Amino acid sequence: MSTKIPRDAQNDYTPEIAAARRGFVAQHTGASLETVGNYAIAPAACAGNIENFIGCAQVPIGIAGPLRVNGEYAQGDFYVPLATTEGTLVASYNRGIKLVSEAGGVLTTVSEDIMQRSPSFIFDNAREARAFREWVAEHFAEIKAVADATSSVGRLRDIDPYASNKFMFLRFNYTTGDAAGQNMVSKATHAACEWIRANYPKLRHYYLESNFSTDKKHSAINVLRTRGKRVTAECTIPRDLLIQRMRVSPEQLRHARAMSMTGAFIVGANSNGSHVANAVAALFIATGQDLGNVAESSAATSFIEVTDSGDFYISLTIPALIVATYGGGTGLPTQQECLALLGCQGKGNAKKLAEITAALALAGDLSLASAITAEEWVTAHEKYGRNR
Amino acid sequence: MSTKIPRDAQNDYTPEIAAARRGFVAQHTGASLETVGNYAIAPAACAGNIENFIGCAQVPIGIAGPLRVNGEYAQGDFYVPLATTEGTLVASYNRGIKLVSEAGGVLTTVSEDIMQRSPSFIFDNAREARAFREWVAEHFAEIKAVADATSSVGRLRDIDPYASNKFMFLRFNYTTGDAAGQNMVSKATHAACEWIRANYPKLRHYYLESNFSTDKKHSAINVLRTRGKRVTAECTIPRDLLIQRMRVSPEQLRHARAMSMTGAFIVGANSNGSHVANAVAALFIATGQDLGNVAESSAATSFIEVTDSGDFYISLTIPALIVATYGGGTGLPTQQECLALLGCQGKGNAKKLAEITAALALAGDLSLASAITAEEWVTAHEKYGRNR
Amino acid sequence: MSTKIPRDAQNDYTPEIAAARRGFVAQHTGASLETVGNYAIAPAACAGNIENFIGCAQVPIGIAGPLRVNGEYAQGDFYVPLATTEGTLVASYNRGIKLVSEAGGVLTTVSEDIMQRSPSFIFDNAREARAFREWVAEHFAEIKAVADATSSVGRLRDIDPYASNKFMFLRFNYTTGDAAGQNMVSKATHAACEWIRANYPKLRHYYLESNFSTDKKHSAINVLRTRGKRVTAECTIPRDLLIQRMRVSPEQLRHARAMSMTGAFIVGANSNGSHVANAVAALFIATGQDLGNVAESSAATSFIEVTDSGDFYISLTIPALIVATYGGGTGLPTQQECLALLGCQGKGNAKKLAEITAALALAGDLSLASAITAEEWVTAHEKYGRNR
Amino acid sequence: MSTKIPRDAQNDYTPEIAAARRGFVAQHTGASLETVGNYAIAPAACAGNIENFIGCAQVPIGIAGPLRVNGEYAQGDFYVPLATTEGTLVASYNRGIKLVSEAGGVLTTVSEDIMQRSPSFIFDNAREARAFREWVAEHFAEIKAVADATSSVGRLRDIDPYASNKFMFLRFNYTTGDAAGQNMVSKATHAACEWIRANYPKLRHYYLESNFSTDKKHSAINVLRTRGKRVTAECTIPRDLLIQRMRVSPEQLRHARAMSMTGAFIVGANSNGSHVANAVAALFIATGQDLGNVAESSAATSFIEVTDSGDFYISLTIPALIVATYGGGTGLPTQQECLALLGCQGKGNAKKLAEITAALALAGDLSLASAITAEEWVTAHEKYGRNR
């Protein structure tokens, strides 16, 4: 019995070859893949998104909303599709959504939008590396021309250099339109590096990446310098509304947040918010984002205060939110529908989606922080979840 | 036109109410949710996993393997279901899988298995907080009895105290069987805290969580002290095999890894590996894990060396891998099938799944590191991916 | 002309050989070392503290106080010697000292006291490393006997294991009396490791240190698990007193601290306080501590709140404060005098010194935070400092 | 008996008032300060460096060298004064110095030189903060003019903006000649901020500092973006020389370094080198630097490799080294002499001093790493140190 997964040399994205693969693994493992095979999308639509296609994971979607967003791109009330298997999550976000919307909605701001590839350049010594930095600055226009020629969308914005040891790490910052852009910037930076190699003889070697980007990882550099969108959500909740809806006062929340900000500082957490990763992951699955990017997109900085009038101001900055409305998994059927639900289908909508994500994350953080503070957290899970 | 999402007071998990909700949002947004509504699972099966169910996200699954794992729980050849929308990912992992399997397979070891809830206890001053720590140590048996009584599975193993300011943060470490256990430990710790409150009058206040766990976040404490499973994958690739399959020598890989380990150190990345988050996310979606946990489960420590005989040793430790084979989303239909494919369905299999995940991550890191080193990375994406 | 620094084979710690060395370098460099040579201590007293002795650096000491400390070891009013060359520093600390003392003094608490050496143990694979961890736990008594036999003071308290890759890092935690103890724990752990090597044949190799301690470095592990003393200082400043003395209200300080705690979180600082390192460094020089330890002893966690009665509570935890009153530089003449000034001379006083240090740091942080908030910071430097 | 430390309204820097203060504290504490009072410098020379002067700490200085440095500023053989009380330190550095000098010396490179003050600006919301960033960019010339007018030396080079929540943190980067410059940049930035406040009505509030600089603290931002000098030291040690002098082979050192780099990564250390803080602290005391800056100046990135010819390459980058040859404590007598010894007295020499510091740190790291690897570390301390 062969252990080689079946392939179809002519057309590898047909229901037949997918079925053949399911049969193959069933034969090898005894596992039926009936429901996996009962998918609703054309295999051909998956070319470019997957290899060795066998069917689909079906992840339940719950709807939350309406979430009022006062963004520059997202304006109005949104029904948000959340794909998750974690009971209570949709209910908890919905509770926060209701509150922030009643409070007038969430103000959202995208303050940065760049995608990186960060090659490392190796020299004989640090002095050569430093000289190279000067040369790059002088030849930026030529490097940019080479990089930009590789795509109709990606544009090299600037090159941010970091010297260490006998290396120069160059953070190539691109705008990538409404695509997440990781592949686009790889291709562009590869071309730029090859041009550099041809034109800078003292270069000993380069690697297209040496963990300086940092793709699929949380890092201090991403928090400081942005990867993807840097987006902030803000809301002021009137005092009485907060007390009525959440059974906590602004002062109680301030006290609890002081503790959780302190805790986050001591343990070196990548977020001093509550559970941004939940909003990000649920929206990412629904809308066809790259789930590996939850690593960097889960970082967040929360800030709260009680206003002079006794109301509760809360804000949340996600410094490395990677979302796309074009490319990657965004073109697949259920993902397209969920993007359409948010009015975020296709080009021109990536920042809109970033704003909605941040507003959603804020609502969820407010909900969870309130529940912990009001000591209703465990009770909520007993009501909605599986308690396992 | 009401903005209130339809609910069914009698049975909120029926095809009818799901359809009603899709109709409702279609009315509000103009978006069709036809494919979302064309799901293959019974809505009733989702109770406890989702609220306001409207249908399913369909995420393509590709099959990779056979991956040979020499674990204590995972032993043999595995066909691994990867749910992703990122082109090239399955192909790249498969390339690494082929290599490590040819090399004899991946040795895997689970060296720790604990889940936390970490309440903060507030006192009048640091001295009172310190006294409380002593009291907790003396009353551990009673606290454990209270915590353990809340579930048939979760067992309080120990309490790890951290003093700061006038607070005592207690990290309650539990074994939770084959469930991820976050809700289980919340309930148990809540009961323990209430007992403490009743029996320790000098306690001023406590919060069930203050970002000390740290759930849905990367943190230094999770890397050091484990959250979920601490699992290591190792493999030695014979020199000639590496050169033949990857077109790189052990020495070239060592050079490239030295650079990427340096890069990771400088930028403060949560992994000095290549792209662990990709393996984690793709397997998490397929098998019904909590995708928010990609935040902590993406942390990794890679170590490589060229052996005395010139072969290439690579290992990877994931210190906070949160996987379950029971509870949460693991019971849903496509997720059950994918778990069955791995022989990881139901109780007794969580460590097996952890071992497979680590082996997979190692294979993928080896593949990507080789591609970058051999300068074939961009080319691979041009062949398989969408290049956007 | 020889380039070899003169040595005296019989007695290398005499005024004559020190003078000969000064003459030698003067000959080589043209630099006079007259004041360096005009020291007030007997060279013989420096044996064990320095090699190639040529004289002394003279660092000005300013006196601050009286600082009221309500510690368990430090009780009463202290005049604190601060050795520094930074204008304004003594004045600024004195301002804070006056305030906290008027407020009734600083409550101090030492909640932990351990010194580490953390060898790394290398095995064939992770499974062997894990087995070793069990073996160490089972043989703790024997290991402790070997370690404790190396000194009359150092006592192995526990061994804290960390598994990664095919390694086991063991953090040997010792109590070291009133010495800082780094050499003591090196010697003890070396003996323990040699015993382990003799008794655990599967061990491939060990290193006495692999940056896991982490000596002379800031690290997350020190913040979490303590190195040296974990000490907390606390004070509540009556509202009116704060306003009168510092020209800021509790609410203004709260606002400013919220900002600086947020800043520290974003940039990944090792302290969210103000300038703990200044207190630590100035007291370290004066009292003969190891100045390289400023690296770890500068980490701090600050927490403030406005009390229900409108007063200002501030606390500061230094999690890795390394101070000694015995051994190292503490026995030198000016250092002995400064220790005597604090009643911290010799054995039995290390925790007392830790308490005074933390109280001092709190006072200085309060002073600087107030100055920044009241916008008097630059003005103060113009008055007292050199403005360069 | 008054508790007020004596002051002299006319001239507070005389031997008499210093003696009066010593008498005062002797009366209060019973401690004699005879040796503290037996100082060799004129109290008047300390005005601007200290308040409440009582005398001097005398810290032994040992001489090491000759250290061969092949820098751009430091060229030749240097005798290095190390002020420390830690036995073995000078001997260990000397051992490393001898080796790197025999190997031809240390190549040093300063690749960056900037000092910061980083005010935080608070707005009504994130959108206003973002607009402010644009305004600052447009008005850079005016802001620079205001900042530069405050000093004859400090020059605003650029403003690096960081957006978070409703704040804009601006990192003002200055060149400050041969002064460390912290006070200089405070004054300049204060002036700039006041100008901004007057010209940007939408600004709600600003703080001159909110832990974004980060002075007297280690931080990720300093490692990435430089504070003070970013300086690299490099050396290639011929294989046979290494083996002969250190009793370790390049391959053994590579193995040990792989472990210590892994350890540093796991524990989140601010250096993956060996003990940079020791070099920094000892040279700082001797030459009149600000010892509080050991906090940031102890961060380092080490990189090693075995060359194709089997030799050992080692390099070390200190990304936030704060050294001055002018201002602060550098003008005091023993400090001036030690600077003169290095040919670093006065203006034009700060980069030279930075190069020497880095070369020294490299030598010491090489010595300690070799000792640990050759298992001679504990033995060395038994020979030279006090073993306490």
pLDDT digits (tens, 9 = 90+) for C90-126: 999 999 999 999 999 999 999 999 999 999 999 999 9
pLDDT tens across A231-276, in order? Answer: 999 999 999 999 999 999 999 999 999 999 999 999 999 999 999 9
Low-confidence winner among A222-236, C371-385, D360-374 (lowest mean pLDDT): C371-385
Share the mean pLDDT of chain A.
96
Please tell me whether the peptide bond between D161 and the residue prior to it is cis, using omega within 30 degrees of 0: no
Distance CA A219, CA B152 (A): 39
pLDDT given at position C55 = 98
The answer to whether the CB of A175 falls within 8 A of the CB of A155 is yes
Q: Which of A265, A308, A312, A313 to mutate to test the interface with C (most CBs of C within 10 A)?
A: A265
Cβ neighbours of residue A147 closer than 8 Å, sequence gap 6 or more: A154, A156, A172, A174, A188, A189, A191, A192
Minimal CA separation from A340 to chain C, in Å: 35
pLDDT given at position C381 = 74
pLDDT score of B388 more than 70: no
Minimal CA separation from B251 to chain D, in Å: 11
pLDDT score of C249 more than 50: yes
Interface contact flag, C261 A266, Cβ < 8 Å = no
In terms of phi and psi (left: phi > 0; alpha: psi -120 to 50; beta: otherwise), the region of D11 is beta
Distances (CA, A) of A23 to A27, A45, A54, A258, B335: 6, 22, 10, 56, 18
Q: How many CA atoms lie within 13 A of C68 on its CB side?
A: 11
Interface contact flag, D262 B224, Cβ < 8 Å = no
- The chains found to touch B (3+ Cβ pairs under 8 angstroms) are A, C, D
- The chains found to touch D (3+ Cβ pairs under 8 angstroms) are A, B, C
Rounded to a whole number of angstroms, the distance between the first and last alpha carbons of chain B is 40
pLDDT score of C312 more than 60: yes
Q: Specify the amino acid at residue C235.
A: C
A-B contacts at Cβ under 8 angstroms: 498
- pLDDT category at C375 given cuts 50, 70, 90 is confident
Interface contact flag, C303 A265, Cβ < 8 Å = no
pLDDT given at position A386 = 52
Low-confidence winner among B367-381, C242-256, D71-85 (lowest mean pLDDT): B367-381
Interface contact flag, B337 A31, Cβ < 8 Å = yes
pLDDT tens across C136-170, in order? Answer: 999 999 999 999 999 999 999 999 999 999 999 99
pLDDT score of A230 more than 80: yes
Distances (CA, A) of D228 to D17, D209, D274: 37, 17, 21
pLDDT tens across B36-53, in order? Answer: 999 999 999 999 999 999
The answer to whether the CB of A75 falls within 8 A of the CB of B80 is no
pLDDT (mean) for C321-333: 96
- pLDDT category at C45 given cuts 50, 70, 90 is very high
pLDDT (mean) for C214-218: 96
Interface contact flag, A261 C261, Cβ < 8 Å = yes
Tell which residue, A7, A2, A42, has the closest CA to residue A331: A42
With vertex at residue D207, the alpha carbon angle to CA D204 and CA D213, rounded to the nearest 5 degrees, is 135
Tell which residue, A191, A182, A90, has the closest CA to residue A148: A191
Phi, psi of B383 (to 5 degrees): -75, -45
Interface contact flag, A258 C220, Cβ < 8 Å = no
pLDDT score of C322 more than 90: yes
**D305, β-bridge pairs:** D313
pLDDT given at position D271 = 97
Could you confirm whether C296 is annotated as catalytic? no
Catalytic residue set of D: 86, 290, 381
pLDDT score of C387 more than 50: no
Could you confirm whether C86 is annotated as catalytic? yes
Q: What DSSP state is assigned to residue A224?
A: H
pLDDT score of A300 more than 90: yes
pLDDT tens across B106-124, in order? Answer: 999 999 999 999 999 999 9
Q: Which residue has the higher pLDDT, B383 or A338?
A: A338
pLDDT score of B277 more than 50: yes
For residue D232, give both structure tokens.
Answer: 């690299």
Interface contact flag, A301 C264, Cβ < 8 Å = no
- pLDDT category at A388 given cuts 50, 70, 90 is very low
Smallest Cβ–Cβ distance between C264 and the set A224, A265, A303 belongs to A265
- pLDDT category at A384 given cuts 50, 70, 90 is low
The answer to whether the CB of D119 falls within 8 A of the CB of D208 is yes
Q: Specify the amino acid at residue B175.
A: T
Residue C126: its chain B contacts at CB < 8 A?
107, 109, 111, 232, 234, 315, 317
pLDDT score of B386 more than 60: no
Query: Which of the residues A178, A234, A290, A365 is marked catalytic?
Result: A290
Interface contact flag, D267 B224, Cβ < 8 Å = yes
Q: How many CA atoms lie within 13 A of B13 on its CB side?
A: 14
Pairing between β-strand A53-70 and β-strand A106-117 as defined by DSSP bridges: parallel
- pLDDT category at A376 given cuts 50, 70, 90 is confident
Tell which residue, B361, B360, B45, B344, has the closest CA to residue B178: B344
Residue D230: its chain A contacts at CB < 8 A?
163
pLDDT (mean) for A215-232: 98
Smallest Cβ–Cβ distance between A33 and the set B167, B328, B341 belongs to B341
pLDDT given at position D378 = 75
The answer to whether the CB of C84 falls within 8 A of the CB of D48 is no
**D160, β-bridge pairs:** D171
Share of chain C above pLDDT 90, in %: 95
User: Could you tell me which chain D residue has the CA closest to the CA of A302?
Assistant: D165
Share the mean pLDDT of chain B.
96
Query: Which of the residues C290, C296, C355, C365 is marked catalytic?
Result: C290
Look at the block and give the residue holding tokens 């998750």: A84
DSSP string, A48-108: TTBSSEEEEEEEEEEEEEEEEEE-SS-EEEEEEEEE---TTHHHHHHHHHHHHHHTT-EEE
pLDDT given at position B114 = 98
pLDDT (mean) for A365-380: 88
Answer positive or negative: Cα dihedral of D197, D201, D207, D213. Answer: negative
Cβ neighbours of residue B160 closer than 8 Å, sequence gap 6 or more: B170, B171, B173, B225
Helix (H) and strand (E) counts in chain D: 14, 10
Please tell me whether the peptide bond between C66 and the residue prior to it is cis, using omega within 30 degrees of 0: yes
pLDDT given at position C364 = 98
Residue D313: its chain B contacts at CB < 8 A?
none
Interface contact flag, C294 D290, Cβ < 8 Å = no
User: Could you tell me which chain A residue has the CA closest to the CA of B167?
Assistant: A259
pLDDT (mean) for A36-50: 96
Residue B319: its chain C contacts at CB < 8 A?
164
Cβ neighbours of residue C297 closer than 8 Å, sequence gap 6 or more: C228, C276, C277, C280, C284, C318, C320, C321, C322, C323
Distance CA C79, CA C91 (A): 13
Cβ neighbours of residue A294 closer than 8 Å, sequence gap 6 or more: A277, A280, A281, A284, B277, B281, B291, B292, B294, B295, B298
- The chains found to touch C (3+ Cβ pairs under 8 angstroms) are A, B, D
The answer to whether the CB of B267 falls within 8 A of the CB of A223 is no
Q: How many CA atoms lie within 13 A of D286 on its CB side?
A: 34
* Stretch (H or E) spanning D161: strand D155-164
User: Could you tell me which chain B residue has the CA closest to the CA of D307?
Assistant: B255
The answer to whether the CB of D105 falls within 8 A of the CB of D70 is yes
Tell which residue, B224, D275, A128, has the closest CA to residue C215: D275
pLDDT given at position B385 = 64
- pLDDT category at C12 given cuts 50, 70, 90 is very high
Distance CA B6, CA A246 (A): 23
Interface contact flag, D266 B223, Cβ < 8 Å = yes
pLDDT score of C84 more than 80: yes
pLDDT tens across A110-123, in order? Answer: 999 999 999 999 99
Distance CA C324, CA C228 (A): 9
Residue D258: its chain B contacts at CB < 8 A?
303, 305
pLDDT score of A387 more than 50: no
Q: Which of A61, A215, A335 to mutate to test the interface with B (most CBs of B within 10 A)?
A: A61
Smallest Cβ–Cβ distance between B268 and the set C126, C224, C268 belongs to C268
Minimal CA separation from D76 to chain B, in Å: 31
pLDDT (mean) for A96-104: 98
pLDDT given at position D386 = 52
Tell which residue, D3, D45, D19, has the closest CA to residue D329: D45
In terms of phi and psi (left: phi > 0; alpha: psi -120 to 50; beta: otherwise), the region of D228 is left
The answer to whether the CB of A366 falls within 8 A of the CB of A248 is no
pLDDT (mean) for B357-369: 98
* The pTM of the whole model exceeds 0.95: yes
Interface contact flag, A220 C258, Cβ < 8 Å = no
Q: What DSSP state is assigned to residue B188?
A: H
Pick out chain D residues at pLDDT < 70: 1, 384-388
